[in-house]
Structure 1
Amino acid sequence: MGIERYSISIHFARMLMNAGRRLQLDEAVLLNEAGLNRRMLDNAHLRITPDQFSRLMRAVWRLADDEFLGMGAQRCRQGVFAIMAKQVVHSRNLHSVYYKLSHFYNVVNDSLHLSLEVVGDDAIFSMKLKDPAQDPDFLLRGFLLLLWHRFPSWLIGQRISLKHVAFDHPAPKHLTEYRLMFPCPAKFDQPVTCLVFDAAALTAPLVQTPEALRIHLKRAPFDWFTRPAYYPVYTRRVLDYLERSENLAEATIQHAALELHLTDRTLRRKLAAEGSQFQRLKDGVRRDMAIHYLSQTSMSISLVSQVLGFSEPSAFTRAFRQWTGELPRTYRDVARDRK
């Protein structure tokens, strides 16, 4: 299972659509470009593919000509990020990246102020919005903090290990999604929104080239939303086992434990300590794979059912409806309409 199949809560798409309404963008165009429809958007429990969410964000960027999605005190014209990226790709190390990134945005846009500070062993990259009320759903702060972590991580060719992230707003209703976005504890109601990591990482050299950046920018923001979800150690190892499995229907905790050189009792105990459970993890993998496959019109519902190890399409339909509240054909029909 490739990383592109990790799903994203519809909650974020709904927030983007809220931003589109505030900007008076054509809702039908946004939904069509993302391969979504109103019924899907109204299902609070639905999950969509990173590709769908990326296309929705690109549509808002294009129609609004604003990379801050209408949530900044000042519009950030489309292409500003690319100009910044083409400057910082020539940096010597991570410290230089964060310094240049901060200086660039502080000069070209008054919507936010960025700063890098080293306090003892900690590097603190902070962001403060000039008008937080323009970001009522906290979407801009979450998206930009994700970007300030993942783009520099891509530049140095390794994930920046975070100690914690902090937000200057209350914990959101979709709190569990932050575990998928950031590989560390998240703190809320803090004085400032920031990334905190080991200052030693600032010496890491860049490994990406201007040529690689051109490809990266063409794919943006897709690559920023398709990093593997971050989980505790045994949860991650079980997910790795499930994603490698050629027959998910026959994947069991006993087989997983055997591969991990544990007893199934020990594996159950370790998963429970991490707040996980084998069947829930298995269902999540199947759900995300199903969402991905159903967005690809070349695969029939019957074939998706077979690939995921269901005995018959009706069993898959029941499971999919239990996972998402929707029928598989809803995804298939929307994908075909978009084509």
Structure 2
Amino acid sequence: MSIKRYSISMHFARVLMNAARRRGLDEDVLLGEAGISRRLLDNPHLRITPDQFSRLMRAIWRLGDDEFLGMGAQRCRQGLFALMAKQVIHSRSLRSVYYKLGHFYNLVNDSLRLELKVEGDEACFSMILTDPAQDPDFLLREFLLLLWHRFPSWLIGQRIPLKHVAFDHAAPEHLAEYRLMFPCPAKFEQPSNCLVFDAAMLAAPVVQTPEALANHLRRAPFDWVTRPAYYPVYTRRVLDHLERSDDLGGATIQNTAAALHLTERTLRRKLDAEGSSFQGLKDGLRRDMAIHYLSQPSMPISQISRQLGFSEPSAFTRAFRQWTGELPKTYRDAARSRK
């Protein structure tokens, strides 16, 4: 059993809608295009699919004609990212990508300042917002740093290994989501927002083509928010094992440890050191898969229950309510209503 989609906290959809509300955008149109009901939006503990989040972001881009989502000091007209991307696709190396990317935005929009610095064996791509008060929930910072990492990584055909990521704001309440976004430690209350990585990576050649870019842009931002979550070593190994399991419900820490050639005690200690737990990982995976399957109306809830390894639908219903505060049927009906 495997799943390529990871759910996204409702926090991010709520922040997007708050920004849209401040701009006076039509909320019913936005939620309708995303397939998110108001009742679901009002529950901060729920999660949505990457497809729903991507459709919401695209709708806000279109209605607001602003790729900075109303969170910048100046509107960034829709299409500017594509214009920049069509220039940098012809770059020879990652160094050229970051220089051209920064130069482009520094010329066309005063909402931010971008700069690539190299000191010794470290490269730092930094971003400073000229009016950070326009981004009170930090979503623009989070999204743009995510973009400055994932798009260049796509261009060179490999993930850029980050040493750390830094933000100029305090650690947020949704800090746990950062492990899904950035494959490295996060530092807060820093002078700027930045990505720090090995300077040797700047020599990596660009391998993508203009034809591949056209498809990439058509899918945006879906590909940027559906990358597999980044986890520490043993957390990742456990998740990989669970995703491959044909009997997720019957997976235990004992048989998982055996499959990973570890003792149960060693696996518990390794997960604890990484801030994880076996049951938490198993429940999180089942929750994300349930949300994904519930977004597909053709799959009966009884089938979802079996797919996730529950002995009976009532057991799945109890578990889903514990995870999200909602009944599976209520969640599906609310998602269908798009009100």
What is the CA deviation profile of residues 96-150 of structure 1, one whole-angstrom value per residue up to 9, with x for unaligned ones?
0000101111111111111101011110101111111111111101100000000
Partner of residue 173, structure 1: 173
Paired residues in the alignment total 339
Verify the 8 A CA contact 2:12 2:139 in the aligned structure 1.
Answer: yes
Partner of residue 302, structure 2: 302
Partner of residue 40, structure 1: 40
Check if 1:76 corresponds to 2:58.
no
Verify the 8 A CA contact 1:112 1:129 in the aligned structure 2.
Answer: yes
Query: Alpha-carbon deviation of 1:16?
Result: 0.3
Identity %: 80
Comparing both chains, which one has the higher relative contact order based on Cα–Cα distances under 8 Å and sequence gaps of 6 or more?
A: 2
Query: Alpha-carbon deviation of 1:37?
Result: 1.4
Verify the 8 A CA contact 2:167 2:188 in the aligned structure 1.
Answer: yes
Which SS does the other structure have where 1:5 is aligned?
coil
Gaps of 5+ in 1: none
Verify the 8 A CA contact 1:3 1:227 in the aligned structure 2.
Answer: no
Decide whether aligned partners of structure 1 residues 3 and 61 sit closer, same or farther in structure 2, where only a CA change above 3 A counts. farther
Partner of residue 242, structure 1: 242
C-alpha separation in 1, matches of 2:217 and 2:333: 30
Decide whether aligned partners of structure 1 residues 145 and 243 sit closer, same or farther in structure 2, where only a CA change above 3 A counts. same
Q: How does 1:109-120 map to 2 (within 5 A)?
A: 109-120=109-120
Query: Alpha-carbon deviation of 1:4?
Result: 3.9
Partner of residue 148, structure 1: 148
C-alpha separation in 1, matches of 2:15 and 2:242: 31
Verify the 8 A CA contact 1:67 1:76 in the aligned structure 2.
Answer: yes
Partner of residue 5, structure 1: 5
C-alpha separation in 2, matches of 1:117 and 1:277: 39
Opposite residue 266 of structure 1, the aligned amino acid is: T
Verify the 8 A CA contact 1:310 1:316 in the aligned structure 2.
Answer: yes
Opposite residue 92 of structure 1, the aligned amino acid is: R
C-alpha separation in 2, matches of 1:318 and 1:183: 33
Query: Alpha-carbon deviation of 1:278?
Result: 0.8
Verify the 8 A CA contact 1:112 1:127 in the aligned structure 2.
Answer: yes
C-alpha separation in 2, matches of 1:3 and 1:246: 12
Partner of residue 49, structure 2: 49
TM-align CA RMSD: 1.3
C-alpha separation in 2, matches of 1:71 and 1:151: 21
Partner of residue 287, structure 1: 287
C-alpha separation in 2, matches of 1:54 and 1:322: 27
Q: How does 1:16-31 map to 2 (within 5 A)?
A: 16-31=16-31
Q: TM-score, normalised by structure 2?
A: 0.97
What is the CA deviation profile of residues 184-228 of structure 1, one whole-angstrom value per residue up to 9, with x for unaligned ones?
111111111111111000000111111111111111001100111
Over 6 Å off, 4+ runs: none
Query: Alpha-carbon deviation of 1:337?
Result: 3.3
